[in-house]
Amino acid sequence: MRFVTFEVDPGKERLGIILADGRIADLQGASSDPDNTPVDMQALIESGEIGLELAKTAFANANEDFLFAAEDVTLKAPLPRPHKIIAAGKNFSDHSAEMGRSAGNGPIQPVAFAQAATTVVGPDASVPYPPETSQLDYEVEMAVIIGTRAFNVDAKDAYDYVFGYTMFNDISARDVYRAERPSGVGLMGKNLPSFAPMGPMIVTKDEIKTPQSLGLRCRVNGETRQNSTLGNMIFKIDELIAHWSQTDLRPGDMVTTGTPSGVAAGDKSEGGPRWLKPGDVVEIEVDGLGTLTTTIGG
């Protein structure tokens, strides 16, 4: 199933399911048991199989009273308030190389930074250009949504703990991040306002049979900048989940994949890096997950 968080009236979030024809069914309104149907994405994830069964029933029985055309709603981040986001870094060898790391000098175990939930914005959002930076960058990634508590799990069992997948644009202020790095910790360069566009949907794991083979792409103003597959990850999805389960992953937590080469910071072409600027439109895609569009504001 494909779930979204949407608004018909501003400020009133609803949990929806995307139908085959693209319309959105209000999950609670279409449910035969609205009192026990999850009201938001976090509640749905925490409800496990019970919530998914109620969602399947609502999906099958949705009538016109609770159906909305996509153009009549505003999509929000599908999981507007994740508990924690563990964002993998240096997890594609080609990206490590373009950022100046020599072959064989990559991480020996997964590395990541913490992304604040307050940075999350949804599809078609405008990301304000921060005054703190002149080197704004993009990164196409997939995010794995944890469905059940995962603590010290084995990689062979990792997918048992997955709820589904969405897209994640890891916006970065490269100069701010580099200035922080001499201390050994980078935080603000990844956590300025609206630096975590997400969405447009969460697709449950049963619909993505081989997530490790998915293609991912990023375009800036229609020009393809990144084009790779998740098969090129250094540490695979199951390894990331197993490693970060040492932190006690909970339902609604997110683990991202890292990004392939093609970011602005790695641009060695004549004229130097093509940093994002106000008015730029960034589109990211992961096979089966739609398109996430973000506009850089002034």
- Which range of residues forms the domain containing residue 30? 2-76
Regarding whether 207 and 105 lie in a shared domain, the answer is yes
283: number of CA atoms within 13 Å, CB side? 8
Tell me which amino acid residue 161 is: Y
Number of domains in the chain: 2
Check whether 34 has a pLDDT greater than 60.
yes
Q: Domain with 219 in it: what CATH number? A: 3.90.850.10
263 and 169 in one domain?
yes
SS3 at position 44: helix
Average pLDDT of the chain is 93
182: left (phi over 0), alpha (psi -120 to 50) or beta: alpha
Which of 28, 53, 76 finishes a domain?
76
Q: Does 151 lie in the same domain as 113?
A: yes
Give yes or no: residues 161 and 63 share one domain: no
pLDDT band, very low/low/confident/very high, at 57 (cuts 50, 70, 90): confident
Q: Is 206 exposed, middle or buried (0-12, 13-18, 19+ CB in 10 A)?
A: exposed
User: Are both 184 and 101 inside the same structural domain?
Assistant: yes
Band of residue 56 on the pLDDT scale cut at 50, 70, 90: confident
Bridge partners, residue 127, by sequence: 296
- pLDDT value at position 138? 98
Quick one: 45 and 109 in the same domain?
Answer: no
CA atoms within 13 A on the CB side of 185: 5
Q: Which residues pair with 14 in a beta bridge?
A: 6
User: What is the reported pLDDT for 183?
Assistant: 66
Of the chain, the percentage scoring pLDDT greater than 90 comes to 79
For residue 101, the model assigns a pLDDT of 61
168 lies in the same domain as 205: yes
pLDDT score at 35: 86
Q: Does residue 289 have a pLDDT over 80?
A: yes
Distance between CA atoms of residues 173 and 130, nearest Å: 8
My answer on whether 55 and 167 are in the same domain is: no
pLDDT tens column, 85-113: 999 999 998 877 777 665 566 788 999 99
Please identify, among 76, 105, 127, the residue that sits at the C-terminal boundary of a domain.
Answer: 76
pLDDT single digits (tens) 163-172: 999 999 999 9
pLDDT at 100: 63
125 and 14 housed in the same domain? no
Residues 44 and 102 in one domain: no
Q: Which of 271, 235, 212, 282 is nearest to 106 (CA)?
A: 235
Task: Give me the percent of the chain exceeding a pLDDT of 70.
Answer: 97
Examine the domain organization and report whether 131 and 235 are in the same domain.
Answer: yes
Q: Which pLDDT score, from 0 to 100, does residue 249 have?
A: 98
Q: Mean pLDDT lowest for which of 51-55, 94-98, 163-167, 217-221?
A: 94-98
Q: Looking at residue 103, what is its pLDDT?
A: 55
pLDDT band at 63 (very low <50, low <70, confident <90, very high): confident
Please identify, among 34, 51, 76, the residue that sits at the C-terminal boundary of a domain: 76
- Please state the rounded mean pLDDT for residues 174-191: 85
Same domain, 163 and 284: yes
Confidence (pLDDT) at 92: 92
Supply φ then ψ for residue 108, to 5 degrees.
Answer: -90, -10
